[in-house]
Copies of this chain bind each other. A is one copy, B any other.
Amino acid sequence: MPKLGMEPIRRDALVKATISEIGRTGSLGVTVAQIARRAGMSTALAHHYFGGKDRIFLAAMRHILTLYSASVRGALIGSVDPRERLERIVRASFEPGNFRAEVIGAWLTFYVQAQTVPDAERLLHVYQRRLRSNLMHELRALTDDPAPLADLIGALIDGLYIRAALGQGATGKDAADTVLDVLDRMLGPK
């Protein structure tokens, strides 16, 4: 059974299992045993590859953020118009890949973890700074005072995510429309 080069496969399986389990149970109470079982291996192996529960969680968080960044970056390809680019950023945030029950559940949980675990906090800040910087870059072409608007959009996205985590939020499309509507209104009368 043992083949060579299992490490990346196992790590990947663990990361995905972690997101699934956190999303499913909606809490950090997820145990390494649960994750390992879902990933189809022993807890010992999970520890072997990651070195500890925190590191597994962190890798899962990093995975989500990486996917998110990639989807934003991908969405921007081939677009130069600021308004259009803003729309693409926002829509990417709510596209099915990112805006999925289990991912949102994990996301919210990471928010909580970021209050305690320094590495998690750092990671979250990286994401927030990147999103803010993306927004600012486009907003500068559309308004004199882009900072407050960037912060507003960021907070609104987070708010819509958090509500989605409770299963009563709107669909991804509706959420994106809401953000874009606010954006246009705030940018001033057409």
Q: Give me the interface of A with B, judged by CB distance under 8 Å.
A: 25-29, 105, 108-109, 111-116, 121, 124-125, 128, 148, 151-152, 154-160, 162-163, 165-166, 168-170, 178, 181-182, 185-186, 189
Contacts and interface: CB of A to CB of B under 8 A. Distances in A.
Contact of A121 (B125, B166, B189): B166
A185 B185 CA distance: 6
**Copies of this chain, tallied across the complex:** 4
B115 A166 contact: yes
Contacts of A182: 152, 182, 185-186
Contacts of A28: 27-29, 112
7 contacts: A25-B116, A27-B112, A112-B112, A115-B165, A154-B159, A155-B156, A156-B156
